[in-house]
Amino acid sequence: MYFGGENTHVKNNFVDHFCSIKDDGGGIYTFTGVVNTNFTNRSIVNNIITNGIGVKEGTIAENGTVVGIYLDDNVTGVNVSNNTVSTIADNGIFIHNARNNSITQNTVYNCGAAFGTGHDNLGYAIANISVSENIFFAKYTNQWASKLISKTNDISRIGSLDNNYYLRPFDDNKVIHTQQFIHSPSYLEMNLDVPNWAVQFNQDKNSKKSPLSFPTFILNKAIGANRFLNGKFITDIAGTMFYGDGTTSALLDNTNKLAAQGSLKLTSSARSYLLINVGAVDASKHYVLRFKASGSKDANIKAFLRQWNAPHAIISTISTVKLTGAVTAYECVFSFPTSEPNTCITIQSDNENLVYWLDDIEFSEADVTITNPDDFIRFEYNASDVAKTVKLDAAYIDARNVSYS
């Protein structure tokens, strides 16, 4: 559905299965473009938008680019409220180079990113948006509750975001994804939990994360030997490579920081990477990375597999763990990576002035059971004009931690 002009209201529609031929579009879409007219009194209210699968075939894209509700270049004056958006390949609600719009009391579930913003060269900067009292729910670990992208470093200034619910019950250490200075040597991306997002971008001070967390996998057993034999760092840090964008150092710490013996102490002033070669991996297998760590401050770090040799492409999913001052044991599973004869574990920090310690690093094949979100989550909507009763076979809580049974 497309609309434009002044005093326009899109209300009470059921939009199902769309953008199956043309990918770059939305279930409900509006666009202003270079004319840059400031429109007012417009709304998208009480609609249900679902099953925007998109058309990625014939491309290398991970997802289609279809959007649920799409406010495109230079759109102004739209109130998006009380909509239900679900099962969308890209963003559930997307603001692209638009300003003076409000996003309130929407429920967005099972999308590439429940909420997204994008500022690029096709329109003016995003400004004066209000985003409040929404439920942004990422069902799978390859989805985001929110994804915000800009060609500059203006994400903290796009407007006011607060009192939202950012739910990612499977791995809620990486709920919000940001990219700044896109297409620039200063490019910076971050995976954030809700508290870190609030601190670093001065938004969502009163917003909430998921009231429950569930395991993404069950590790039945490790298979075979540890591929990193120096993982206890007893006498040296051989087998590691550490570098970054700023000042870095990698040292053996024998002060019993994490255990009774040595540990690997990593110091960086900016983004940094730790590489450990682990040989070949196979696309038909699961792998597990286990380690202990602590940090000089609360901070997220990322772990993934990539090619040891050029072009050094990432060949696995990316796991994010949150460091604290306490010594914590972590497990990251990489299922069905791209087959590669020469692979390295990569641990990446996007933090400034971080010191962290690692010990007891182990990497091996694994017998893993991947968790099915449908065993833990129930999502319902009512597309009719009569009341609908949903019978529950177990006790549930909603995004606001209200119980139902």
197 with 230, same domain: the answer is: no
Task: Read off the pLDDT of each residue in 373-390 and give the average, rounded to a whole number.
Answer: 95
Average pLDDT of 397-402? Answer: 96
Residue 92 is part of which domain span?
2-201
**Mean of pLDDT over the chain:** 96
Of 356, 340, 355, whose CA–CA distance to 306 is shortest? 340
What's the one-letter identity of residue 134?
A: N
pLDDT band at 134 (very low <50, low <70, confident <90, very high): very high
On whether both 60 and 168 belong to a single domain, the answer is yes
Average pLDDT of the segment spanning 203-224 = 96
pLDDT above 70 as % of the chain: 100
As given in the structure block, the two tokens for residue 151 are 């060609």
The DSSP output letter for 34 is G
Please tell me the predicted confidence (pLDDT) of residue 85.
Answer: 99
Q: Strands (DSSP E) along 205-318, which ranges?
A: 208-209, 217-223, 241-244, 248-253, 263-268, 272-281, 286-295, 299-307
Distance, in Å, from the CA atom of 148 to the CA atom of 119, rounded to the nearest integer, reads 9
Task: Clarify whether residues 230 and 346 are in a common domain.
Answer: yes
> Domain boundary residue among 149, 175, 201?
201
| 296 vs 313: CA distance, rounded Å | 30
* Domain-ending residue, one of 141, 171, 201: 201
Please report whether residue 405 resides in a domain. no
User: Could you tell me if residue 376 is inside a domain?
Assistant: no
Residue 394 forms part of a structural domain:
no
Residues 236 and 112 placed together within one structural domain of the fold:
no
**Percent of the chain's residues with pLDDT above 90:** 90
Q: Is the pLDDT of residue 58 over 90?
A: no
Tokens of 152: 């500059």
* pLDDT tens string 150-184: 999 999 999 999 999 999 999 898 999 999 998 88
Do 148 and 277 belong together in one domain? no
Lowest mean pLDDT, pick from 21-35, 55-69, 75-89: 55-69
Is residue 60 pLDDT above 80, yes or no? Answer: no
Residues 200/170, Cβ–Cβ less than 8 Å: no
Burial of 142 (0-12, 13-18, 19+ CB in 10 A): exposed
State the CATH number of the domain containing residue 277. 2.60.120.260
pLDDT band at 185 (very low <50, low <70, confident <90, very high): confident
- Do 265 and 154 share a domain, yes or no? no
Same domain, 173 and 232: no
Q: How many domains does the chain have?
A: 2
Give Cα separations from 13 to 53, 101, 111, 335 (angstroms): 19, 20, 19, 40
Question: What pLDDT sits at residue 260?
Answer: 73
Domain membership flag for residue 401: no
Please indicate, yes or no, if residue 64 is contained in any of the structural domains: yes
Least Cα distance to 113 among 88, 135, 132, 95 occurs for: 88
| 165 and 295, same domain (yes or no) | no
pLDDT at 11: 98
* pLDDT range class, residue 64, cuts 50, 70, 90: confident
- Go through the chain and tell me how many residues it has: 405
Helix (H/G/I), strand (E/B), else coil: 258: coil
> d(Cα 45, Cα 102) in Å, to the nearest integer?
11
387 within domain boundaries: no
What would the mean pLDDT of 287-298 be, rounded to a whole number? Answer: 97
Q: Which of 205, 201, 160, 153 lies closest to 179 in space, CA to CA?
A: 153
Which of 167, 201, 235 is the last residue before a domain boundary?
201
Where do runs of H (alpha helix) occur along 232-329?
Answer: none
Matching residue, tokens 């400031």: 38
Whether residues 142 and 230 share a domain: the answer is: no
Confidence of residue 186 (pLDDT cuts 50, 70, 90): confident
Same structural domain, 173 and 223: no
In a domain, 206, yes or no: no
Q: 233 and 338 in one domain?
A: yes
> Residue 396 domain-assigned?
no
Statement to judge: residues 177 and 236 lie in one domain: no
In this predicted model, what pLDDT tens digit does every residue of 245-290 receive, in sequence order?
999 999 999 998 887 789 999 999 999 999 999 999 999 999 999 9
Higher pLDDT, 259 or 116: 116
Q: Is the pLDDT score of 62 beyond 90?
A: no
Residue 67: closest CA among 44, 40, 39: 44
- Residue 398 is predicted with a pLDDT of 97
Q: Is the pLDDT confidence value at 61 over 90?
A: no
CB 167 within 8 A of CB 138: yes
Q: Which residues pair with 329 in a beta bridge?
A: 292
Report d(CA 367, CA 369) in Å as an integer: 7
